[in-house]
Amino acid sequence: MLLAQELIRKKRAGLALDQAEIQALVAGMVDGGISDAQLGAFCMATCFQGMTAAEGAALTLAMRDSGTVLRWDDLDLPGPVVDKHSTGGVGDLVSLVLAPMVVACGGFVPMISGRGLGHTGGTQDKLEAIPGYCTTPDLARFRRVVRDCGMAIIGQTADLAPADKRLYAIRDVTATVDSLPLITASILSKKFAAGLDALVMDIKCGNGAQTPELAQAQALAKNIIDTANAAGMACSALITDMSQPLAPSVGNALEIREALAYLRTDTCPQRLHQTVLALGTEMLLLAGLADNTLEAQVRLLDALHSGKAAQVFERSCAALGGPLDLLAKFDDYLPGAALQQAVFAPAGFYLNKMDTRAIGLLALQLSTTGQGQRDTSTGLSQLAELGQLMEGDTPLAIIHAVDADSLALASKSLLAACTFGETAAPRPQQLRQSMRGGLRPTAPALTTETV
């Protein structure tokens, strides 16, 4: 019998764990043989010492095999099974709009999403702002919704990679979120368990990302691509900017509103739209649904502007318990905050820098109630963008809060998180780099391309 404390001691000393040792650790995560304290110690040792490629692959596959691994071939789906995953950001609602666009182009998207991690928002938390939406269906219902609607976005269930569900929670409270091997294993174990044919990664880079520096983001992208290819999955990655919130809204219900407005083509925030098209193009190319970039973009834009993508989202939402008419009446269904107030910056100055991590934490604080619960109605909307001139009638943002005290604190915190200047600083490039592995698992050579 392998003792958890001895394996932790070995990892703390910087020694590599073999496959059997990693499998024993993962088994302990699932059956309770390893305590929260021991799992936290393992995470911290891994954060400091890292893992070899072999260790990372063994951890990923052991976590995948800790629960059910889905297969789709028995459903005779008339298209490839493909997904996208983001490493997390602020105002990142891409999954909500990209999945139905890809489905409208012929793909099938069984998306297993996570909750917020640290200062970043979670897709599962956002969807729970929709009345009736079930983010934890049983696997039979999940498969049925994917078959009938083309997509289902759910949270992690007890059946799929249960080891990761526990590891995810421990990483969140032990400041080990940014460990590359733990990030890779967490992401890929769920994606492998979902039975994907192809995966596109959105690796965030900037002061609101888990990997703030470009070199960190590149290292994570390469690690994920290499691991995915080695295990038989086609994978590519885009490195995108997170030095400001991606969408003009931050907060669970507010981001759902923003996503639905985008799908209805009521609004089209430029950086969000650019990111959605870039990731969607990668998904269609990797899955064989388009032959070139132009064809992929034309198909995605048609899916959006024809209303097909919006219909896909609404059908999937209803199949998971949400309202049948959410698109037409989302203001009737989504909760609104008790107090709303605009915050204004010094007039005549440009918004030159944002502490995006602080803004993410601000949104988290706004949502936290006295009972330790989360209020889905709170957050920020109409956020200004970097390089924008702050004029007298242009708010920096509108704050949505549950009471006057949190409103006042949020106003001060938002202003403190922003830097203004008399001249405009250069705006960051939204799409930083693309990284592509072999489209076939047998050809995992990595190439890079700046976009």
Q: How many alpha carbons fall within 13 Å on the CB side of residue 142? A: 24
Which residue type, as a one-letter code, is found at position 239?
A: I
186 and 245 inside one domain: yes
99 within 8 A of 84, measured Cβ to Cβ = yes
Both structure tokens of 224: 């994920």
Q: Please enumerate in sequence order all residues whose Cβ is within 8 A of that of 165, keeping only pairs 6 or more positions apart, or say none.
A: 156, 158
Asked if residue 56 belongs to a domain, the reply is no
438 and 379 inside one domain: no
Asked if residue 358 belongs to a domain, the reply is yes
What number of other Cβ atoms are within 10 A of residue 292's Cβ? Answer: 11
- For residue 116, give the DSSP letter: -
- Its pTM stands at 0.89
Q: Which residue is it, tokens 């097909």?
A: 308
320 and 386 inside one domain: no
Give the integer Cα–Cα distance in Å for 50 and 43.
10
409 and 434 inside one domain: no
298 within 8 A of 284, measured Cβ to Cβ = no
141 and 278 inside one domain: yes
Give the integer Cα–Cα distance in Å for 91 and 131.
21
Both structure tokens of 191: 């994606």
46 and 138 inside one domain: no
Please identify every residue annotated as catalytic: 83-86, 123, 171, 186, 190-191
32 and 105 inside one domain: no
207 and 222 inside one domain: yes
199 within 8 A of 85, measured Cβ to Cβ = yes
269 and 364 inside one domain: no
238 and 263 inside one domain: yes
Both structure tokens of 396: 């920096």
Torsion of CA 290, 292, 297, 298, to 10 degrees: -70
**Sign of the torsion angle spanned by Cα atoms 402, 250, 179, 60:** positive
Both structure tokens of 288: 């064989």
Per-residue pLDDT 10s for the chain (451 aa) are 678 899 999 999 999 999 999 999 999 999 999 999 999 999 999 999 999 878 888 999 999 999 999 999 999 999 999 999 998 899 999 999 999 999 999 999 999 888 877 788 789 999 999 999 999 999 999 999 999 999 999 988 888 889 988 998 899 889 898 788 998 998 899 899 999 999 999 999 999 998 899 999 999 999 899 888 877 889 999 999 999 999 999 999 999 999 999 999 999 999 999 999 999 999 999 999 999 999 999 999 999 999 999 999 999 999 999 999 999 999 999 999 999 999 999 899 999 999 999 999 999 999 987 666 788 999 999 999 999 999 988 899 999 999 999 999 999 999 999 999 999 999 999 999 999 875 443 333 333 344 3
Residue 46 belongs to what domain range? 4-50
The domain spanning residue 194 has which CATH number?
3.40.1030.10
